[in-house]
Structure 1
Amino acid sequence: MKKALPATHTSMMRYAVLSISLIITTGPAVSSALPLMAKNFPNISLAMIDMIATVQQFTIMIFLLISGSIAKKIGIKPTISIGLIITGVAGIFPVFSQSFVAIFISRLLLGVGIGLFNSLAITVIDLLFTGNDKAQMLGNRSAMEQLGVCILNLVVGLLLLINWHMAFLIYALAFPIMIFFWRYVPEPRVNKESKETHQKINMPVVWLALLLFFLVMCSTAIIVQIPNIIVRGSLGSATTASLIISLNTLAGMAMGFLFGRIYKVVSDMTLPIGTFLMAMGAILIGMGGNLYIVSLGTILCGFSYPLAGTYAFNLLSKIAPQGSETLGNSVLLIGCNLGSFISPIGVRILAKISGNAFIGMFIVLLVVTGGILVFQWASKHVSKMKKV
């Protein structure tokens, strides 16, 4: 007779932990509804209408910083559940509202909900899993984010056939996720010492956040700029550009699921391999002039970010001060959100410096890869010297 697996290793618990990430990056998923929404609010500027897809990032960043303190008082599981409920309620509010101001406020509240469970979705994995199992779960979590974006973008397209209000119904997904999570995930055990420890960050965490800031800036720039490169360069239509971006997302999803296996084989080389692949993708896009080369570069970049990004989050538990994992995850996620937010400005700066934003990315990413390899070599050398 087969011995039952521990509660922390059951399949349903794993799926429940991962399900949270389906809805984390879906803030901009309603972008397709904005043109129709603009027609409904002719007196509102297009800039304000566009903010409906991004304004939640502001409150996400605020609540990323305080979610750890809230979890310390009421528990990680209740905090995540409350965040999911707020996400569901605030997310679907525009389905029933005709007031732009009210809808705008509801998007800010959506950010509150997502901010409450964003970093805790990673902390739960840090606390419930170890070793290669944890690495694979973090990879799967990254893949689930991509899967959520793919599915909900498709659902938004179908709901828009009814009207733009219905597009916001996608956030109702938060309710079954909350029930699923509450039913199958135990409250993670945090040792007493960690509970009493005042959470803090150190310089390695700051450097890791800066690395993620740059990687997300590059990754976002690629998704935003590909339509311009394809259409303005007469390489294809807007539909072609959309297909290539979808391939980028699918590549990221595939790498998320494969991360654990790759990490098991290449270990510490995972991060420099990820940054090097992104550099190669950037130079291929920068060369332009050929649809297939640009497509290959975009797919390479899709593969590379989950490889480097997931490794960074996996590394956090080793470099963050003991008991400060939640704050550390929040700092890394703030780096990611800031990278996404500042991407348009970063692209312009790189373009001014190098003449081509993607050539600039290639150069900087090569330098970053070299810096990581030198740092890893120096760390191992110092470690060997200490043992002698």
Structure 2
Amino acid sequence: MSVALLISSGPIIAANIPAIAQDFPATSLTQVGFLTTIPSLFVILGVLIANLLELRIGKKRTILTGLGLVFIAGIFPALKHDIFSLLFASRCLFGLGIGLFNRLIIQMISDIYHNSPSKQASVIGLESAFEGLGGICLTLFVGQLLKINWYTSFYVYALALPIFAAFLFFVPADKRGLRKGGAEQLTTTSDYPSNNRSLRVMIGFGILLFVIVTIFINYNIQITPLIMEKNIGNATNGSNMIAFIGLGAFIAGFSFGKLYKYLRHYIVPLAILLLGVAMFVTTISQSIILTTFCSMVIGFSFRCIMPYLLHTFTQQIAKMAKLGTTIVLVAYNLGATLSPYEGTLIRQLFHVDSIQSLVSTNAMILLLIAITGFGVAYVKNIKEKAGEPFNV
């Protein structure tokens, strides 16, 4: 759980961008802005490298390698901040470090709780909650350190050092028996008759997640301009909206276990429906309180989707579980990286000329996806009750 605090810590230095741009006047604002998004791209590379590194040195050592890289690359700008190329490279290595342990902590949860799917779902939800908690708390710390200067705020990543020590001394090394038992259990409880069918489902969910992530992150980008366009708030209100998105995500993580118990396969379509409705309400709302509440609902809804996919895929045979979680994390980070271009694409396709129209169009897309999702979830439940495999 402590490792999860660092997973969403890449964008927390976004508030530094104006100050960094002033110190590097010869560097374009676009390049400076990449300091917040480039880690997501290298997270993808880290996830892929972790798949190979795990086989050589094991899960625990791979996670420790990632934590060490996050610590060194994370605080590097605080020590050497006068060369932009080195600053940029450190952010790339920081993302690589996150990628090395992003998937593996999910896999370790799966190994530990492979005999208890309900508890596994709860702990995966907790992992998601701690991601949200880390984003909120570290953002607040950055804001305080930023009062000194922009590069001092990078010391916030020193948190990785005590987490490294705690993981080193208190988490047991990989156990072959545990991994073997988990693999055997996953093999006998697989919901799919063939790896090819499972792969198609995973790729389909990956594409779905990519679309939802681009829309969700784009909302984070557009919420401040939206409320200013409607003359109902200012930049401070927009910052509060983003904080409430994190709060909603935090609540979703803690409640995921119970939600999964009662809703099962309807979680994803319900979450997408709630996401679309809340997003649409923000476009017609004239109240900053209502818009803030909707932002919290949006964070809650989105964070119900990721744990469901991770929990579902870890129920497959060991090889497919690893592939499934990799697909989820690659789709998420690729969507986060490309999200700024989603708005441009929607504007060109639907000829929208205002932020309000852009957000409402994205909301309509989510509602259409939700309607389709309810049909798929209904068929899946029917198949399960009949004891048949579900292949879509």
Separation in 2 of the partners of 1:82 and 1:208? 30
User: Residue 7 of structure 2 contacts residue 102 of structure 2 at CA under 8 Å; is this kept in 1?
Assistant: yes
- What residue in structure 2 maps to residue 42 of structure 1? 25
Structure 1 residues without counterparts, runs of 5 or longer = 1-17
Q: Within 5 Å, which residues of 2 pair with 1:53-72?
A: 53-72=36-55
The reply on whether 1:235 has 2:235 as its aligned counterpart is no
Would you identify which runs of 4 or more consecutive aligned residues in structure 1 move more than 6 Å?
A: none
- What residue in structure 1 maps to residue 255 of structure 2? 258
- What residue in structure 2 maps to residue 112 of structure 1? 96
Give SS of 1:209's match: helix
Query: CA distance change for structure 1 residues 335 and 165 in 2, over 3 Å: closer, same or farther?
Result: same
Overall identity of the aligned pairs, in %? 28
Q: Which moved more, 1:363-372 or 1:222-231?
A: 363-372
Per the TM alignment, residue 229 of structure 1 is displaced from its structure 2 partner at its CA by 0.9
Instruction: Give, as a single letter, the amino acid of the residue that structure 2 aligns with 1:47.
Output: T
User: Residue 283 of structure 1 contacts residue 297 of structure 1 at CA under 8 Å; is this kept in 2?
Assistant: no
Separation in 2 of the partners of 1:268 and 1:194? 24
Separation in 2 of the partners of 1:193 and 1:142? 22
The reply on whether 1:331 has 2:327 as its aligned counterpart is yes
Query: CA distance change for structure 1 residues 42 and 263 in 2, over 3 Å: closer, same or farther?
Result: same
Query: CA distance change for structure 1 residues 382 and 245 in 2, over 3 Å: closer, same or farther?
Result: closer
Structure 2 residues without counterparts, runs of 5 or longer = 188-194
Q: Within 5 Å, which residues of 2 pair with 1:315-354?
A: 315-318=312-315, 320-351=316-347, 352-353=349-350
Per the TM alignment, residue 368 of structure 1 is displaced from its structure 2 partner at its CA by 1.8
- What residue in structure 2 maps to residue 360 of structure 1? 361
Q: Which moved more, 1:308-317 or 1:84-93?
A: 308-317
The reply on whether 1:191 has 2:197 as its aligned counterpart is no
The aligned length equals 367
Separation in 2 of the partners of 1:263 and 1:92? 38
- What residue in structure 1 maps to residue 374 of structure 2? 373
Instruction: Give, as a single letter, the amino acid of the residue that structure 2 aligns with 1:191.
Output: K
Instruction: Give, as a single letter, the amino acid of the residue that structure 2 aligns with 1:156.
Output: V
Counterpart among 40, 60, 85 of residue 101 in structure 1: 85
- What residue in structure 2 maps to residue 203 of structure 1? 200
Per the TM alignment, residue 156 of structure 1 is displaced from its structure 2 partner at its CA by 0.9
Per the TM alignment, residue 211 of structure 1 is displaced from its structure 2 partner at its CA by 1.8
Per the TM alignment, residue 21 of structure 1 is displaced from its structure 2 partner at its CA by 0.8
Query: CA distance change for structure 1 residues 57 and 128 in 2, over 3 Å: closer, same or farther?
Result: same
Give SS of 1:158's match: helix
User: Residue 273 of structure 2 contacts residue 370 of structure 2 at CA under 8 Å; is this kept in 1?
Assistant: yes
The reply on whether 1:149 has 2:146 as its aligned counterpart is no
Normalised TM-score (structure 1): 0.88
Separation in 2 of the partners of 1:193 and 1:220? 35
CA RMSD of superposed structures (Å): 2.3
The reply on whether 1:308 has 2:291 as its aligned counterpart is no
Deviations along 1:264-302, one digit per CA (max 9) or x if unpaired, are 222222222111111111211232444344223222211
Separation in 1 of the partners of 2:379 and 2:265? 13
